[in-house]
Amino acid sequence: SIQQGKYQRKESQFRHWVTAKGETGFKAEAGRYHLYVSLACPWAHRTTIFRALKGLVPLISMSVVHPDMFGQGWTFEHDDDSKALYGTTGDTLNNFTLMREAYAQSDASYQGNITVPVLWDKQQQCIVNNESADIIRMFNSAFDGITGIAQDFYPKALRAQIDEVNAFVYHNINNGVYKTGFATTQAAHEQSSMALFAALDRLEQRLSKQRYLVGEQITEADWRLFTTLVRFDAVYHTHFKCNIQLIKEYDALYGYLLDLYQQGGIAETINMAHIKRHYYNSHRSFNPYGIVPLGHRQDWTVAHHRAAISAS
């Protein structure tokens, strides 16, 4: 929503929790849950990253919406061309044509935003949760007893630091690019843009001294920042007018981006054609003709030299 020219994001409303033992009514079980995502959405991207890192791809099925989002919201439009280019799948579970149908089936009186990601329970035929921050925490630990993958991206000893970094990154960077891009007054745009780049400058300094945001191990905080960074030069720099500097022009931040991109399973979660098509074609108030630029040819497989930061 826009108030006094400033963009404000609404809170998610489905906040049920999947646990290992199921005391909440939602037990972690292989094959029980389904994930609805857009490959363009940075919030949904968090969940596909954790699905990959935590070995949940065989356990949790997934449907990918079409990148275009207009008056009816996210759709499951799908054909061979969109599958090849954009990774769309259609709704492979419920044969919904619109994402809003999942919300209506879960709560006939629902009046909120129709967003992704959505974690769906096949057993109870309803939405479990549509808040990405919750879903990645569930994926981080609830299924460990099934997968045997115990790597913890939210370790107890670091939680206070992770929460502090998450809050800073969310307000200034994750949501900061949207506040900058969706501002409807010059003053609101400039205020958000300055805050965004001040935050990036601060993280540049931090990452010049340590390999990851909370020390020497990858945590949830890194993946929450990564999904914004990976879209920044291709979309936010141009489309959202976040153009004081490219991420590629930051030494530490760009090396950090390369480091995370090159972690096992991460590259497969990224479809840049889907990302660019969604933003440039869907936001017609910004880009009336829906023209998608050809640029952004960056090789994210080159050496990042970040290990030297840990050794220093």
Q: SS3 for 79? A: coil
How far apart are the C-alpha atoms of 127 and 40, rounded to whole Å? Answer: 21
- Measured N-to-C along each axis, helices 42-53 and 220-231 cross at an angle, to the nearest 10 degrees, of 130
The residue type of 10 is K
**Which residue from 146, 164, 249 is spatially nearest to 215, judged by alpha carbons?**
164
The residue type of 184 is T
- Alpha carbon of 158 to those of 132, 138, 155, 210, 215: distances in Å? 20, 17, 6, 15, 9
Q: Beta partners for 15? A: 129
- Alpha carbon of 217 to those of 49, 96, 220, 259, 305: distances in Å? 16, 40, 10, 12, 16
Active site residues: 41, 178
Listed in sequence order, the DSSP H helices in 54-90 are 80-86
Q: SS3 for 128? A: strand
How far apart are the C-alpha atoms of 96 and 262, rounded to whole Å? Answer: 35
DSSP H or E stretch at residue 254 = helix 251-261
Structure tokens belonging to residue 238: 């141009």
How far apart are the C-alpha atoms of 267 and 246, rounded to whole Å? Answer: 20
DSSP H or E stretch at residue 50 = helix 42-53
Q: With contact defined as beta carbons under 8 Å apart, do 162 and 211 qualify?
A: no
Query: Is the bond preceding 293 in cis, omega lying within 30 degrees of 0?
Result: no
